[in-house]
Amino acid sequence: MGKHRDKRVKYKYIILALSCLSLIFIIFQDRKRTAIEYNREKLLDLINNRYQNDSGRKFRKVNILALGGSVTWGSTLLNRTDAFPFLLGNLHPGSIVDNLAVRATGANYPASCIQSMVEGGGAADVVNEEDKEEIFSTVPTIYDIILLEFSVNGFPGTEFLMNRLRNRYPDAIIIYVHLHSLTHPPRESLSEEFFVNTMKPVNGIYYMFPVEVLSDAYGRGNEHYSDELLGLYANDRHHLSKTGHEFLADQLTLLLQNTLLEPADALTLELGTLGEWDAGDQCYLWFMNDGKLPESLDVEGGTFTSFNEMKYSYEVKQGETTTFSFQRKEFNGKMFGKIIPFHLVYMTLGNPPKYPKTLITLNPHDEQITSTHLINPTDDPMFPEWSWAHLTRPEVVGSSRPGKNTFTIQPQESTENPFRLVGIIICAVCFESQHGQRMKSVSNMRMRIPTKEKP
């Protein structure tokens, strides 16, 4: 009997201890949650105090623009709204979060096409007279916070992008979020000093995600990282986990809090200013757009279809002729009325190429301005080194003019895949001057899709 009584007493103490631990955990979680909510409420108050109109009415909502790669987009999450830009947007139910991140893509695409990304495919102001009042009565969103994340997928083009964003949104807080992939070493040049110097011209701020930098850690195994750090990453050790997104949103909340507590002259503190889009851009990209071809494009022939896990293209086979037509907008400043080169964005893969040589004819019905261009996959600067990868390639095929532009696509040979067109890019600001980096932003824009063909 005594032994049984001792066991019962022992079990009582164990249960009591577990209950106490559970209570402590619940209290800790509640305090953590309360602290997070307090920080976000404090930040919202700071933003409200910053943004007031002349009548003194405070604005409760926050407008957020997010640009980046698959982490910002929300890859590996069960629900994309758990990605850190959306969590930051939870500051208030009225907040707007435009998460325009593009998976497997660096900064060159948004640098060349940010106007079209924000305003819709084409960003064209060429509309019927009767539609003008309805279309232009829409007030553009003025972003309070702009999040940028390109360290993992490709930083080049970021500075050009930030300059364009600063011109358009002179009062926004621009935050560069520097993330690490545990499967790929970060570039050494992307140091804290680098970001201090990079953000200074646009009066922006930055956040560097914590990482344990071990000289022999990359590609070795989980034992080289702490459990705390690994918990912030998904199983692939490349994307962030839900916990990682929550952690990042909380850290950005604190960063914004501290930034807004700085002296008034440290940041621009006005509301409602909307600048210009410099010379502008007109881009159409349907590579990943839920199976929708832009309505402002007229197409005859060919087939619009999905070809790889919800990746979309316009396919043209040998023997077919497909005709595209679109209205080119008028651009601002020095590019007004000018003839501007334009790129077609198409798919490449394989050595020998699995996509055909293709003839592009511009304005075939006007002998005075017609021209031809032959797309040859082997002319790609990344061929054959990157021929194993299924990539997009932008290539200048001719010049665009204000008003209606037409071009035809005619594959010249039969290959394993038909010619696949995934976009059209006219970047006026890229050609506004002879600034080499601006033009490289378009030509170096690459997106990769998964393929079994690897080295």
3-state SS class at 287? coil
- pLDDT, tens digit, 9 for 90 and up, residues 358-410: 999 999 888 888 999 999 999 999 899 989 989 999 999 999 999 999 999 99
Please tell me the least confidently modeled range out of 255-269, 324-338, 357-371: 255-269
Tell me, yes or no, whether 276 lies in a domain.
no
pTM: predicted TM-score of the whole model, two decimal places: 0.80
Tell me, yes or no, whether 133 lies in a domain.
yes
Query: Considering the chain, what is the average pLDDT of its residues?
Result: 79
315 and 254 inside one domain: no
331 and 434 inside one domain: yes
Question: Residue 216's pLDDT is what?
Answer: 45
98-107, 127-136, 426-435: which is most confident: 98-107
316 and 196 inside one domain: no
Rg (CA), the chain: 26
Q: Which value, to the nearest 10 degrees, does the dihedral of the CA atoms of residues 236, 238, 243, 249 take?
A: -160
Tell me, yes or no, whether 4 lies in a domain.
no
Rounded CA-CA distance 337/326 in Å is 16
Give the Cβ contact number of residue 8 at 10 Å.
Answer: 10
Residue 268, class by beta-carbon neighbours within 10 Å (0-12 exposed, 13-18 middle, 19+ buried)? Answer: middle
pLDDT above 50: residue 229 = yes
Rounded CA-CA distance 112/99 in Å is 17
What is the count of structural domains for the chain? 2
Of residues 170 and 21, the one with the higher pLDDT is 170
The Cα angle at residue 96 between residues 95 and 101, in degrees rounded to 5? 135
99 and 177 inside one domain: yes
32-36, 40-44, 50-54, 398-402: which is most confident: 398-402
End-of-domain residue from the set 207, 239, 266? 266
Of residues 113 and 293, the one with the higher pLDDT is 113
Q: Are 49 and 58 within 8 A, CB to CB?
A: yes
244 and 189 inside one domain: yes
Tell me, yes or no, whether 27 lies in a domain.
no
82 and 148 inside one domain: yes
Q: What mean pLDDT do residues 83-112 have?
A: 88
CA distances from 69 to 84, 219, 245, 307 (A): 13, 21, 14, 21
Question: Residue 30's pLDDT is what?
Answer: 47
293 and 337 inside one domain: yes
Looking up residue 193, the CATH number of its domain turns out to be 3.40.50.1110
Question: Residue 102's pLDDT is what?
Answer: 87
Rounded CA-CA distance 44/33 in Å is 16
Rounded CA-CA distance 201/164 in Å is 12
Tell me, yes or no, whether 139 lies in a domain.
yes
Task: Kindly report whether the peptide bond that precedes residue 418 is cis, defined as omega within 30 degrees of 0.
Answer: no
Task: Kindly report whether the peptide bond that precedes residue 352 is cis, defined as omega within 30 degrees of 0.
Answer: yes
237 and 89 inside one domain: yes
Tell me, yes or no, whether 414 lies in a domain.
yes
Task: Look at the block and give the residue holding tokens 């005619």.
Answer: 410
Bridge partner list, 344: 395, 424
Question: Residue 103's pLDDT is what?
Answer: 83
End-of-domain residue from the set 214, 243, 266? 266
Tell me, yes or no, whether 259 lies in a domain.
yes
End-of-domain residue from the set 221, 242, 266? 266
For residue 105, the enclosing domain spans: 36-114+123-266
Looking up residue 342, the CATH number of its domain turns out to be 2.60.120.260
Tell me, yes or no, whether 320 lies in a domain.
yes
pLDDT above 70: residue 346 = yes
Question: Residue 308's pLDDT is what?
Answer: 80
Helix, strand, coil % over all residues of the chain, rounded to 5: 35, 25, 45
Question: Residue 121's pLDDT is what?
Answer: 61
260 and 286 inside one domain: no
59 and 194 inside one domain: yes
155 and 202 inside one domain: yes
Rounded CA-CA distance 166/276 in Å is 10
Q: Which value, to the nearest 10 degrees, does the dihedral of the CA atoms of residues 101, 107, 113, 118 take?
A: 30
236 and 348 inside one domain: no
Please give the structure tokens belonging to residue 58: 């405070």
